[in-house]
Structures are given as C-alpha cells and as structure tokens.
Amino acid sequence: MPSLLICGLTSCLPLASQILREVFHVIFNLDKPEICQILESDKEDGVYQRLSYDLMDIQNNESIGQCSLPFEATFQALYDVLGFPVIRFVEFLKGGLPNLHHRMIAYALKQGHTVITTNFDKKIEDAYTKCFNGEKPKVLIKDKEYQEAIDKELTNGVLAKIHGDLNDYNSLAPTLTGVTLSCDATIYLGDDIDSEKGKKQLRWIHPKTFLSIPKALFLQKVLKNKKIVVLGYSGSDVSDIMPILTAREFQCRGVWVEHTSKLPVTVEKWIKNAGDREFLKPDSEEEVQLNITSRVSRFFLDAWGDTETGIVEKIEPEGQNTSFKDWIDRLRLRPGDGLACIARLYLQRGNWARAEVFLEEAIKKYRENLAHNEWSWLVTKSNLSYVLNNRCQKDHALKVSMEVREYIEKARKQKLYPSLYAKTLIYIANKWINSPNDKKADEILKKAMKIAEEIEDKEIFCYGLRLAADRKLAKRRYEEALDGYLTVLQWASDFLGDPLVACLSSMGAALCYIRLGQQHKASRMLANAENFASFLGNENLIKEVERIYKIFIKTFQGKIFQDNSEETPMPYKKPYKDLYEEAKKQVDENVRKEFEEFEESRELISFELYDRCLDCIDKLLKKINKDKDKNNYNKIKAVLLFVRSNIYRRTGRRKEEIEILKQFCRIEKNYPFAEHNLGGAYSRLNNYDMAEKHFLKAIEIMNGNYPLAHCNLGILYTKMGRLEEAKQQLLKAEKSEAPEYPLNALRKRINLLKKTKRKK
C-alpha cells in the first residue's frame, strides 16, 4: 500500500537559520546602540543568543548548543513592521537545481505514494519533470483542488503543497498568520465550495489545527490508511500539521528521519502515540556530518531503480548575497525598524515589559525624522498602547491611543490611514463602553465599523463586532450579544486565524449561555476558551477563564459562599474536574494508552463527534472490566459513565442516559450533577415522581442551594399543578441568583398556572 511522505527537506537553497542570521544582522545594525543596551550585550552574537533564548523560553544555564530565532515568528514580526515586501523573500527559493532528495520524492510520486510538503519551491516538480521525460506531477495547492481530491478519492501519486506555492503569493504561508490562513478561500463561507458540505466536514477535522478544512481533511484521510515517512520536517508547529500527526486516532506506522541530534517534543509525542514507529537521527553533533537524510533518500532511490548519483547542491554565495541584497533594498529599512521588529517578537511571546522598552525606543527614533517616518511612528505608538493595556496601565494606554487619534484628525489623514484610524477608534471605544462616555463609545464604534466596511477590512470589522457584543452583554441583551460573539468566533476561525479573538469571543459566548441558563453550551464554550488561553500562554486570559468558570459554578451549582454569617467558602470545582483528577490517579501502564486516547476524544464532544468519543469509552471500559479488582479503576469508570451520559443527554437518548447515570450513582453515591441530570431525564419522560425525587436529592447534597435545580424543580411542580411549591422554588432560585433564562421560564409557567386555576 502506498505510503505518506511528509517533507521539509534539506535543499540546494539557503537554510532558514542562515536567512534568519542575515536578517538579524541587518536589523541589529539599524539600531545597534539601543539594542545592545536593552539586551545588555555589546556584541552581535551575544544579542542574538539572548534574543533567541528569550523567544524559545530557554534559561541561560541550559546546555542546548546552537539556538536560532523561530522562523515563522521572525517573518511575522518583519511583516507586521515592514508590510508585504517581506513576502518577496521567497525569491531566494527560485535558484538552484533539484537534488538527491527531490529526485527521491519524484520517484515516490511515480510509485503512487502521497507526498505532503511544507516547502514552497518548485524543486520537486522540476525533479519529476526531469526524471520522467517532461511529465508533470499532480499538484494540490488551492482549497478547491484539495476538495476535489477528497471527493474523487484522488490521493495516490499526489503532491500536496500544504503551505502553498511560491508562484502564487496568495497561497503562501511563511508567517504565523500565513500558516493559519494558507487557504485561498475558506470552505466554510467560500463561494467555490458548498457551505453545507463545509459545515459537515468541519465536524470531522481535528479541533486543534488551524489548517483550512479541505487541507486538514485531506491530511487526515491519507493518514488513516497509510504508513508514513517524515523526512527533514522540523515538526515544531503547534497548530498546523502536528496536531493531526500526533493525534492517537491516526495509528499509522512510520519512521521519522531527523537531520539534527535533538527531537522536538511534538516528534517525541508522535513516536509515543502509536506502536511500530521509529526515528533515525544523529546521536551527536559529529554524526550530523554523516547526513542521515541523504542516506535515506539514496536507499529509496536504489530500491526504485534510480542509479544516477546526486548531491545536495548549494547556491553560490555570490548569487545568494545578490538576491538577499535586492530583497533588503526593497524593504526600505530605516532607523527604528530594528527596534520595532524585536518589539514585535517579544509582543508575540507576551513579554510585555521587554516589548514596551523596545517600542518606546523605536518611537523616539521615528520621531527624530517624523516627516519620513510618520506611518511607522503612528503604528508603533498604537502597538505601545496595546502593550500598556496588557501591563494593566489602562489610563496610560488610553492616553497613547488618544494621541494617535488626535494626530490623525488634526492632520486630516483619516483617509490616508483608514485602517489605523478605525483600529484606534475601536480601542478607545473599548475603554469607554459602560462608562460615563458610553454614548461617545457607541458613536465612534459605529464610525469605525463604517470605515471597516468601506475598506473591506474583515479584521477590524470583526473586532468592532465583538466590542458591540461586549456592550450588549453589559446591557443584558444576551441573545443579541450571543449572535455577535458566535459570528466573531466563526470569522476568527474562517478569516482571521486569530486564537486571541477566538478566545475572547468564546468567553463572551460562554457568559451569554450562562445567563441564558444553557449549561452544556456554556461548558463547551468555556472549554474552547480554556484551550485557546492555554495555547496562547496568556496568564491574564487564563485567569479570566477561571473567573468565568466560577460564575458558571455559582450559576449552575450554587453560590461561592454559603448563606451563613461566616460565609464559609464552598469547595470551588470545575464541572467534573474533581472526579476527573481522582480518575487520573488510577491510571497505570495497563490502561494508560486507552486513557490518553479517551482524553483526546473528550475534545471532540464540543464538535459533536460523539461516535468517535463513544468508541474510545467502549475501548477503555472493555479494558478495565477485565480487571478482577473492580475498585482499581472505579473512578475511571465513573468518569467514562458520566461522559457517556452527557453524550446521551445531548443526543436525546433519555432512557439510555438514565441507565448510565444509575450505574454512575452506584459508584459515586452523592454526586449532585448526576442527581440533577437524572431529574431532567425523568422529567422529559414525564415520570414526575422520579424527577422530583432526584431534583430534591441534588438540592440536599448541595446543602439546599442549587440554583438550576430549584428552577427545574419549580418547573416540574407547575407541570404537576403544585402552584405553592413552585412559588417556593422560585423564591429559592431568585435568592440563589439563578440564571435569568430558566428563572423567566419558571415565572411564565407559574403565571400560566395561576390563570388556569382562576378559570377553574
């Protein structure tokens, strides 16, 4: 059966590390005195090492050998500061000839193997044409091409350029946002592909990848039934290919061939997550010279009957230097740009203090020649405002934004800088919303969104839409706010590829669902927000998610403080988190693999991929049921049963939900969530006596204070015609600050019952 080969090969082209070093040399010399002073080194090598260590989270005392700047992050910073000309660096990739590796891949394609490459250059295609008398390979670049390959089952003998092609700038993904937006048109909203098909396929892609839907689905499809060879690809991405490659559901066998002596953590995870996986790498820096990747390529070529010798050719230094100089000249660098680029790198990592220092120095430099640096000066001040806000210097941040706005308006340059002007207005509106300046905030927000529509800037419009949703949330217009957040969340995935916007929108949507009393949807949104916050590593976001979790608990479980004079705190616990932590303690080598598969599958519930999760639950239950001592894994079994019951609840399988919850309650005898859910399931089956019994039990376990249970028990009493008892539950629900949506539902039912009784 054909294999899948994922490549990021050593080429005849300059290495990424070489390009990065040359780039750093240029930006370092632009602002050498200031950079050296901030990073406390008077030599370029020392500054480069300090910067590399900071950005890769490496301590000074760690022994790691050579360390390079992160490639995508560096080019993202350059792009942010210098704009589109940065993308022209791909012209480096147009030189040189195909080498041994490219020939091997060409033969692999001819043999019917599927090849997925992260490279943009044309060397594989050139090698194929040369080796096979002018014949051209089947290449996938655009989303539409990937979708066609999926629909027609065209995977064998296909070259999939997952990050695009250098002849099509719109398809390239050389920067952080480029990787997440490498699709030419989103399948979810695009015109070329049926949107209903897109929505269906969205449910099947791995939740942690930011690849476009057809690219992700294509990769998953070929992984499911093929063995895999990964050659020369770093595997260091966290939201691109590796989330799919390391997922346990793709149990393909394979080998990873690495040209360095150190394996990334993601690669170690890939090797660990399935049997029959191996890696080949040098054991030392000396063995790096043996060039293992070339030996592997030669092995395959010999097996496929290619006898032509080949080496990994290099571009002549003179040609490389000329290309680099031409590219640098197009960037039109000026004093201050070096400081601004380094500031952006620190900003990406959330190192606000260091970013602030670099931005302030860049502003000073730009100010020295404001006539030629006006745009850069304004953008850098805008970035400084963002950093100050993240450092909790709110007043100072607002002051800087007001300075940017006043300068643009005074100089009458709103039409010259529409994007920056709109962003600045939105930032100011954000500070004024729900304050004495709320009306002004509404005015400038509408003004900013009108500009965004005129210039067709989806990013700004999206931010404005989220801000409008924040305003509606504060005014308790929850349905309207929720519509805004969900729209922004969809856009954040489809257009922006922005995990920060996705995180903030998920938190806003979670709050709306909480206020509307929709527990499961609120829980799903909180899980999304938590994943995005953890991915970003932003402590402020993580704390905010924790704060919303407490609101969730207070709303659906009970107040954070009991009703007594001393206000003794109740145990704070996320939904099911306490039970889950106990279950993890029971995991041993006998069930570790199956439990880790189950852990991964839990994330699929949010995407309604219930069957895949149920398969993992069945697999783990089968394993633990073989154990003679049932108590060894009782907590694990309880978690599995509760998650299964949750899936049955979501899919309306009430009788099965009840049976599973009964099994759960035999293990966990006083679990309020289970008792409440049993009450809900019996109520929907019109078994009111059993529903009442379980709602009362849930309230008893919570010391008489369970807001949602009070609401649901009150609604149950109205169904049973017990008006006075329904009123009592309403009073208790109001006192415990139950969510508005179920409270209003209970009030309406009580009023309706009153009218019915009067007529009688």
pLDDT (tens digit, 9 = 90+) per residue, 156-185?
899 999 888 888 777 766 555 655 444 433
* Nearest CA-CA partner of 636 in 717, 707, 580, 685: 580
* pLDDT > 80? residue 624: yes
Q: What is the pLDDT of residues 376-408, one digit of tens each?
A: 999 999 999 989 988 889 899 999 999 999 999
Helices (H) and strands (E) in the chain, counts: 36, 7
Mean pLDDT over residues 226-251, rounded? 73
pLDDT at 656: 93
d(CA 507, CA 402): 28
Cβ neighbours of residue 171 closer than 8 Å, sequence gap 6 or more:
141, 142, 161, 164, 165, 182, 184
pLDDT at 566: 32
Per residue, the 3-state secondary structure of 169-236, as one string, reads HHHCCCCHHHHHCCCCCCCCCCCCCCHHHHHHHHCCCCCCCCCCHHHHHHHHHHHHCCCEEEECCCCC
Amino acid (1-letter code) at residue 557 = Q
pLDDT at 325: 79
pLDDT at 31: 92
Residue in this structure with the two tokens 């640096």, named with its chain if needed = 373
DSSP state of 40: T
* pLDDT > 70? residue 562: no
* Nearest CA-CA partner of 179 in 94, 115, 238, 114: 238
Q: What is the DSSP string of 96-164?
A: S---HHHHHHHHHHHTT-EEEE---SSHHHHHHHHHTTT---EEE-SHHHHHHHHHTT--TTEEEETT-
Confidence of residue 360 (pLDDT cuts 50, 70, 90): very high
Mean pLDDT over residues 274-303, rounded? 72
pLDDT at 327: 79
pLDDT at 246: 80
Characterise 235 by phi-psi region: left (phi > 0), alpha (psi -120 to 50), beta (else).
left
pLDDT at 188: 34
* Nearest CA-CA partner of 229 in 269, 295, 277: 277
* pLDDT > 70? residue 750: yes
Q: What is the pLDDT of residues 178-209, one digit of tens each?
A: 554 444 333 333 334 455 666 566 667 776 67
Amino acid (1-letter code) at residue 322 = T
Confidence of residue 495 (pLDDT cuts 50, 70, 90): low
* pTM: predicted TM-score of the whole model, two decimal places: 0.65
Q: What is the pLDDT of residues 1-49, one digit of tens each?
A: 456 777 665 555 556 667 778 888 888 999 999 999 998 888 888 888 8
Q: To the nearest whole number, what is the mean pLDDT of the chain?
A: 80
